[in-house]
Amino acid sequence: MDPIDHILIVDDDREIRQMLADYLQKNGLRTSVAGDGREMRAALETTPVDLIVLDVMMPGDDGLVLCRNLRASKHRAIPVLMLTARDDATDRIVGLEMGADDYVVKPFSARELLARIKAVIRRTRMLPPNLQVTEASRMLAFGQWRLDTTARHLLDPQDTVVALSGAEFRLLRVFLDHPQRILSRDQLLNLTQGREAENFDRSIDLLVSRLRQRLMDDAREQTYIKTVRSEGYVFSVPVTLLGGDA
């Protein structure tokens, strides 16, 4: 991280936000803390912030509301990492739908949080997505397929759910976020690095061929993902955002 990144920690529990701040500072980050939405807005006005760590469960405006407001404000570009209390896929997703970039389930370890913070910053710096998936429009359509970004699965024209593995979903998401743009293997590897911090050692090529199979994309025809010799891959089909229930 070139300049020192500034992290704003918003949590109603004084001890937690203080301990987090201490830990992050010890690991070379700059931090500010806020106890609620009002303090968060005040902090945002005073100094530029590189990432906000936002607790979901807070009295008054909770984290989801704050995150949504943030996305509608001039600070919409600041990545948000949610601290959620419940470990359930539906709740996990809600945070992302509200515009959060990632989440960590409470209780978490500080080390885990730091890793996520770094991953989110790296991801957003490298390639900001050009389609903003929101609460209202969570379906990405391309070719004959639709990707449900909430449930993390594909839908074929007959509405059949075609499941994706975590790595496949992440790779597809990267392609869909940057359609018609050549992505190098290094970029793809960085962008798809599992947030689960799993030991992901498959090569991008293998993952691409798996995804092609999933999309029933013939490796020779290459309708969706085209190989660009010595450069990488390009997602060659236009992607559109569909409204809420589509």
Distance CA 131, CA 192 (A): 17
Q: Does 168 bind other proteins (CB under 8 A)?
A: yes
Amino acid in position 190: N
Q: Is the CB of 13 or the CB of 61 nearer to other proteins?
A: 13
Per CB under 8 A, contacts with other proteins among 70-109 are 85-90, 106-109
As measured in angstroms, the least distance from the Cβ of 168 to other proteins is 7
The reply to whether 165 sits near other proteins by the rule CB under 8 A is yes
Q: Is 151 in the site for other proteins (CB under 8 A)?
A: yes
Binding flag, residue 195, other proteins (CB under 8 A)? no
Tell whether residue 218 is a contact of other proteins (CB under 8 A). Answer: no
Lookup result for tokens 């890793």? 115
Q: Which of 9, 34, 140, 167 binds other proteins (CB under 8 A)?
A: 167
Q: How many angstroms separate the CA atoms of 244 and 97, rounded?
A: 11
Q: Shortest distance, CB of residue 139 to other proteins, whole angstroms?
A: 14
Nearer to other proteins, 98 or 167 (CB): 167
Residue 232, CA atoms < 13 Å, CB-side half-sphere: 15
Of the pair 44, 149, the CB lying nearest other proteins is at 149
In whole angstroms, how large is the CA radius of gyration of the chain? 19
Indicate which single residue of 118, 195, 210, 226 sits in contact with other proteins (rule: CB under 8 A): 210
Which residues ranging from 1 to 20 are in contact with other proteins (CB under 8 A)? 13, 15-16, 19-20
Q: Assess 110 for contact with other proteins (CB under 8 A).
A: yes
User: Contacting other proteins (CB under 8 A), which of 198, 205, 218, 231?
Assistant: 198
CB of 122 to other proteins, least distance (A): 20
What residues make contact with other proteins under the rule CB under 8 A? Answer: 13, 15-16, 19-20, 22-23, 57, 85-90, 106-111, 151, 153, 156, 158-168, 194, 196, 198-200, 202, 210, 214
